[in-house]
Amino acid sequence: MSYTGPDFDPPQPRRSPLRRPLTVAIAALVPGALLGWGVYAAVGGPDGGGGGADRAAGERTSQAPSSDAAPSAPGDAKAPTGSSPSPTATARKPSASASKSAPAAASGPLRGKVVVIDPGHNPGNFRHTAEINRKVNVGTHWKECDTTGTATDAGWPEAKFTLDVAHRLRTLLEKQGATVKLTQDDDRSYGPCVDERARIGNEARADAAISIHADGSGAGNRGFHVILPGTVHDGAADTRAIVAPSAELGERVAGNFVRATGSAPSNYVGGGTGLVTRTDLGGLNLSTVPKVFIECGNMRDGADAALLTSGAWRQKAAQGMSEGIVSFLRG
C-alpha cells in the first residue's frame, strides 16, 4: 500500500490487544529458496495501509506483467495531507461493483456466505489528487480519502496488481459457492474513500472482508504481512466485536498464503509472524465485520517485484487467500 503515489502514466488497455496467544504454529519449512525460514500454518485446514516507508515518487517506464492463468477481468493513507474535511462525494463511473456480483454457485461450502474483496486504491486515483487528498473521519482522527498506491520500479502500479488478484480471488470464492462483492472494479473515476470501503462491507453484512495491497518499502525488505484490527472505541470507530474473529481470519489467511505461494512472512514488520496489528487504518477501524488487510509483498524490492508481476504467482496468492477465507468461514 502506498502513501505517496508515484507520478507516472499507468499502462494502457500480536495481535497485541488480544488476550489469547497467536494460534498460528510453526508447522513446516518452505524448501528451496527460503533456505530454512520457518513458516507456519493457519489454524484449521485449507479451504488494506502497509507498514513500509513512504514510496519514492518519480517518472517510470511502464512494464506489463505476465498474466498467465488469469481469469477474465471485468487504502488507507498514512500521513494526513491535503485539503480540509469536505462532504464532497466520491465520483463514480456508471457501475455498481459494490452492490452487484456474479451469481453465487448453486452449491458449495460457502453457499449463503458473503465475502467482500477490497482491491486497494484505484487506477484512476492519480488523475484526482484533490479528491483523494480530502479528509474523511476514521473514528480516531481524520485521514486522506485514498492514495494512488505504489508501483514497481518499472512502473507497474499497485492498483493494477490489486484488481488482478481480486478477480482471481473472486473466481475461486464463487466456485466455492460464496456471493462476492468488490468495493471497486476500475468502474469509477477514483476511490472509494477508506470510510466508504468499510461501509460497503458493513452494508453487505459480509461474513469476511479482505483488503488487498502490495507494499512500497525499501529494497531488501521482503515478504508478506497481514494487518489485523486493534481495539478501537472512539467516535464512529468500534472494533471491539471484530478484533477476535478478524485475528482468526488473518491467521488462517497468513498460514494458507505461506503454503500456496512459498513466500515467507515479512522480514521488516511483524517479527517474523506475518501478522501486524494496527489501529490507524480507517478501512479496519470503521468495519463492523471481520476484516483484514494483506500486503502481498514489496513492489520496490526486485525479488518481490518479480513475484508480484508473475501471473502464475498471483494465482497462487489468490489461492492462498481463498483457502484461508474458506477455512475461516467453515470454522
Nearest alpha carbon to residue 50 among 123, 120, 110: 120
Annotated catalytic residue within 144, 196, 248, 295: 295
For residue 153, give the amino acid letter: D
Question: Residue 293: phi, psi to the nearest 5?
Answer: -105, 150
Q: Any bridge partners for residue 105, and if so which? A: none
Q: Please answer whether residues 125 and 159 qualify as being in contact, where contact means their C-beta atoms are separated by less than 8 angstroms.
A: yes
- How far apart (Å, rounded) are the C-alpha atoms in residues 13 and 25? 43
- 8 A C-beta contact, residue 11 and residue 62: yes
What is the dihedral sign for C-alpha 21, 22, 24, 29?
negative
- How far apart, in Å, are the Cα atoms of 105 and each of 35, 176, 205, 256? 41, 7, 19, 23
Among 152, 279, 289, smallest CA distance to 227 is for: 279
Q: Are 149 and 5 in contact (CB under 8 A)?
A: yes
By DSSP bridging, strand 179-182 and strand 114-119 are parallel
Q: Are 159 and 89 in contact (CB under 8 A)?
A: no
Alpha-carbon gap, residue 141 to 182, rounded angstroms: 26
Closest by CA to 122, choosing from 213, 24, 42, 46, is 213
Radius of gyration of the chain (CA): 18
Q: Is 59 a catalytic residue?
A: no
So which residues are the catalytic ones?
A: 295
